[in-house]
Structure formats: C-alpha cells, structure tokens
Amino acid sequence: MKYFLSAMFTFVLAMSAQGQDISYGDGAFDAMFEIDSTFTRDGGKTFEVSASGEAGDYGRTYLSYTFTDEQRTRDRGEFTGFAWAQNGEEVNTATLRGVWKKSGKIFNLYTLDIVSNGKINIGSGEVDFVAKTIKFKVSELKTD
C-alpha cells in the first residue's frame, strides 16, 4: 500500500507540476452512475458506496468503493474499489484505485484502474451524495 500511495502521489505531483488536466486517450467516454447505497464503518472513518449505471462500451456497470482518509486530512483521501460490467455476452471486471478531494458539496475522484480485458483506464469524476450521482470521464491510459 505504501508503494501504491507513493506512486499516486508522484502521479498527482507530476500532473500538478505540468499544470494540465488528465490526458485522455482516443475513445474517451462518459460514465454515469446512480448511488444505490452508502454506509460508514469504524465510527465514520471509512465509508462505502455501491452504484450502478452505464459506462460506455462496457455497458451496464456495478461499482463498489471503500473511501478512507489515512492521512486524517478530513477533506481528501484515498479509495479502492471493484467494478463488474456486462455488455451483451461480454463481461469485464476492474480493480479501482485512486484519490478523492472534497470541494464544496462535491467529492472529486481521480482513478487509475486495471480491467480484465487488459486495458488500464484513467479517469476523473465527481460524486454528489445529495443528488446520488457519480459521473466520470474515462479513457484508456496513454502509455507511449
């Protein structure tokens, strides 16, 4: 976990130093989800979210996230998650990793995900717990 957080910190620092947004590859798509449930554990230190919706060519997608704040910053932290998607007969799964930052009523997410089809996806989005929505822009990570 220490190495993952170090890599994420380096990634975020590099993005900030260049003063640019995430560079989306060809085939970028929007993903829209409705929050199905949410609950807290550990006296509110950890919260979990389940959501479902549509994610581009992946089709119907179900997400689960675990949000934490290991650095105790109160307005930002890290998350892990899992996705399961089906489009026709094709099924894909993904592990989700990233960081979040609260900005007013919105939680901004930055995610780097590995998918069972071999792709690495990068995305940014926002969670609105009042509206019960999660919106992402996602694309395959440019590695060249």
CATH fold for domain 2-140:
AOC barrel-like (2.40.350)
- Mean of per-residue pLDDT scores for the chain: 87
pLDDT at 45: 86
Task: Estimate to the nearest angstrom the gap between the alpha carbon of 67 and the chain centroid.
Answer: 10
Within 10 Å of residue 18's Cβ, how many Cβ atoms? 9
Task: Estimate to the nearest angstrom the gap between the alpha carbon of 80 and the chain centroid.
Answer: 8
Across the strands, what pairs with 25?
Answer: none
Q: Which amino acid, 85?
A: A
Instruction: Look up residue 14 and give its two tokens.
Output: 């590099």
Query: pTM value?
Result: 0.81
Long-range contacts of 71-75, Cβ-Cβ distance < 8 Å, separation of 24 or more = 75/101, 75/102
Q: Which of 56, 53, 48, 69 shows the shortest CA–CA distance to 5?
A: 69
Q: Which amino acid, 131?
A: A
pLDDT in tens, 88-115: 999 999 999 999 999 999 999 999 999 9
pLDDT at 122: 95
Instruction: Look up residue 117 and give its two tokens.
Output: 């089809």
**Positive/negative CA dihedral, 129, 67, 34, 107:** positive
pLDDT at 58: 97
**Positive/negative CA dihedral, 19, 103, 113, 60:** negative
pLDDT at 15: 47
